[in-house]
Amino acid sequence: MQKAAASGSYDFNHLLREIGDFGRFQIFLILFISIVNIVPTWSMLVMMFAGATPGWTCAENATISANDTVSLSCSNSEILNCTGLKFEDDMRTIVSEWNLICDRKWITQTITTIQMIGQLVGEFVFGHAGDTFGRKPIFYFSVATLLIANLTAYFSVSWEMFATLRFCIGFFAGGLCCAGTVVGELLTSKWRLNINLFQSPAVWAGLLALFCWRLHDWRFVHLAVSIACVPILLTWRLYPESFRWYIGKGRYEEAEAVLRRVARVNRKTFPDLTPAWESLLQSTETKKQPDRRIYTFIDLFRNKMLMKLTVTLGIIWLASAFGYYGITFSVQLLSGNLYLNMFIIGIIDYPGSILIVLFNRWGGRRWTSFTFYLVSGAASLGVGIMQYIDFEKGWLIQVFAVTSKLFVSAAWGMSTLWCNELYPTVVRRIGGSTIESIGKIGSMIAPQILTLSYDLHGLLYLTSGGLMAISAVACIFLKETKDLDLQDTIKWSKQAGFKKDDE
């Protein structure tokens, strides 16, 4: 058993290796999170389908029969005399529900932006709450409130009511990230990368396309999410709190209880932790003031290295969110079947997870992310140029669009892991939630650029390509964290975050 370090701290990463750093306990948590991911995935991506515009016709007068209609576009002057709209019944979306076409088409993408504003606020609020009150209670509170919000959205009677509920759904979805933090803090660097192979949002995104194809109604998606929340809430006693969070709060007995549970499930012998607690207590007495202060957003900017780290990661995440959600919600701009395009755009994230593992073994966090952002940017620029010149081969545009989505998804997944490794435990959720909030600015802007892209062809993808190139450059300045253990204190961050000149 490794003893206390000279600094008065204790190596809990070594302890994790003794009690199982990737045993049955961690696998159970990863599988659990994989199931839970249906809630944020379907909650946030439902607008891929709900915002789609079915084919529509306009009756020439109020008394005309339903079959006596003329097909119109918003540019057709006859739309001015339209007295009634008739949408095709192959799908039921909010567009057909509340006639969100022509001079009202801006409402659809504005609702998506409102949803992202909610998530921005939620991740910032719950990031602080997760570091203050614990990861577990914030996670289950978010699940409970998402159940209520999605169920209420099912009964929406106006687009204004629906938009308000989309804000609430985005806000409460911001607290679900706390669950993933617990898993990451129970893994060592050897296994932390492989968690990407178990991530299920891509699978759930693909299943969302199949669900919509089968039922054709946006309301049923919200109902399905609310039903899925019920069994998750029943697992309160099974899911642990972060032992690192307990230690940071000086609650050593509760931290030991979690670690004993990990050892028991992994069938490992639990070592004597008396030296660990004595070391921590001695360190606390030496400081004369317990290191149990409540850290806030301000602490990210009191430390010079943390400030540079936060700004750089913020730029990367803003670009990632813009590209990821821009491509996802622009599925209607692609030719072919809507449901098939939804499935491909959603499921393509999983091959991205495999790429993360394979390329990281060669290039580490920094150069893997750099390469992925560069390829995604090049593919986006290709789509943008082809759309701008009205290139006729739609299948080639789809290939480039899917390629861009594949690599921006992989790059963002790599950046998520990288972020958790760069921030110390005491501000890990605050730091993570801060850059996630910055990223949401990109996801808020993307729907508005998408609206403009209907008239300015290629604008969305050209903008995305430029932002991906900026992200690639930003990655070069961050420190490589491959094979490094998670760190717990801000003191460590004075030597970390940005690469040294000789790296």
The backbone torsions φ and ψ at residue 306, rounded to the nearest 5 degrees and listed phi first, read: -65, -35
Is the same domain home to 167 and 100? Answer: yes
Range of the domain at 224: 1-54+90-292
Helix (H, G, I), strand (E, B) or coil at 435: helix
Q: What's the rounded mean pLDDT across residues 444-465?
A: 90
Q: What's the rounded mean pLDDT across residues 234-259?
A: 88
467 membership: H or E segment, kind and range = helix 459-475
pLDDT bracket for residue 498 (50, 70, 90): low
333-351: pLDDT as tens digits: 787 788 999 999 989 988 9
Contact 275, 8 (CB under 8 A): no
Reported pTM? 0.79
Total number of domains constituting the chain:
2
pLDDT value at residue 80: 52
- Which of residues 265, 292, 319 is at a domain's end? 292
In-domain check, residue 399: yes
Dihedral, 295, 186, 258, 282 alpha carbons, nearest 10:
-50
pLDDT bracket for residue 440 (50, 70, 90): confident
CATH number of 147's domain: 1.20.1250.20
Poorest-confidence range of 226-230, 309-313, 389-393, 467-471? 389-393
- pLDDT above 50 (res 288): no
374-422: pLDDT as tens digits: 999 999 999 999 988 887 777 888 899 999 999 999 998 888 878 878 8
pLDDT bracket for residue 3 (50, 70, 90): very low
In-domain check, residue 65: no
Is the same domain home to 7 and 128? Answer: yes
206-230: pLDDT as tens digits: 999 999 999 999 999 999 999 999 9
Q: Residue 401 and residue 419: Cα distance in Å, rounded? A: 26
140-166: pLDDT as tens digits: 999 999 999 999 999 999 999 999 999
In-domain check, residue 258: yes
Taking residue 254's Cβ as centre, other Cβ atoms within 10 Å add up to: 16
pLDDT value at residue 439: 86
Q: Residue 139 and residue 146: Cα distance in Å, rounded? A: 11
- pLDDT above 60 (res 502): no
Q: What's the rounded mean pLDDT across residues 257-270?
A: 90
Q: What is the DSSP letter of 489?
A: -
pLDDT value at residue 149: 96
In-domain check, residue 472: yes
pLDDT value at residue 6: 33
pLDDT bracket for residue 73 (50, 70, 90): low
355-378: pLDDT as tens digits: 888 887 777 888 889 999 999 999
Is the same domain home to 224 and 170? Answer: yes
In-domain check, residue 498: yes
pLDDT bracket for residue 490 (50, 70, 90): low
Is the same domain home to 159 and 307? Answer: no
Number of helices (H), then strands (E), belonging to the chain: the values are 23, 3
Is the same domain home to 120 and 185? Answer: yes
Q: Is the dihedral of CA 277, 283, 289, 291 positive or negative?
A: negative
- Which residue did the predictor score with more confidence, 448 or 493? 448
In-domain check, residue 63: no
Is the same domain home to 259 and 336? Answer: no
pLDDT bracket for residue 300 (50, 70, 90): confident
Q: Residue 114 is encoded by which pair of tokens?
A: 């409102």
The one-letter amino acid code at 447 reads: P
Q: What's the rounded mean pLDDT across residues 470-479?
A: 90
pLDDT bracket for residue 299 (50, 70, 90): confident
In-domain check, residue 330: yes
- The closest of 474, 492, 345, 479 to 418, measured between CA atoms, is 479
Is the same domain home to 228 and 126? Answer: yes
In-domain check, residue 253: yes
Is the same domain home to 43 and 156? Answer: yes
- Of 7-21, 27-41, 153-167, 393-407, give the range with the top mean pLDDT: 153-167
Strand partners, 56: 87
pLDDT bracket for residue 292 (50, 70, 90): low
Helix (H, G, I), strand (E, B) or coil at 144: helix
- Which of residues 292, 324, 348 is at a domain's end? 292
Percentage of residues of the chain with pLDDT beyond 90:
36
Is the same domain home to 474 and 381? Answer: yes
Secondary-structure breakdown of the chain: helix, strand, coil percentages, each rounded to the nearest 5: 70, 5, 25
* CA angle (37, 41, 43) in 5-degree steps: 115
Percentage of residues of the chain with pLDDT beyond 70:
84
pLDDT value at residue 63: 39
Q: Residue 107 and residue 279: Cα distance in Å, rounded? A: 59
* CA angle (332, 438, 131) in 5-degree steps: 125
Is the same domain home to 352 and 281? Answer: no
Is the same domain home to 350 and 210? Answer: no
Q: Where are the alpha helices (DSSP H) in 216-251?
A: 218-233, 243-248
- pLDDT above 80 (res 83): no
- Which of residues 260, 292, 324 is at a domain's end? 292
Is the same domain home to 383 and 433? Answer: yes
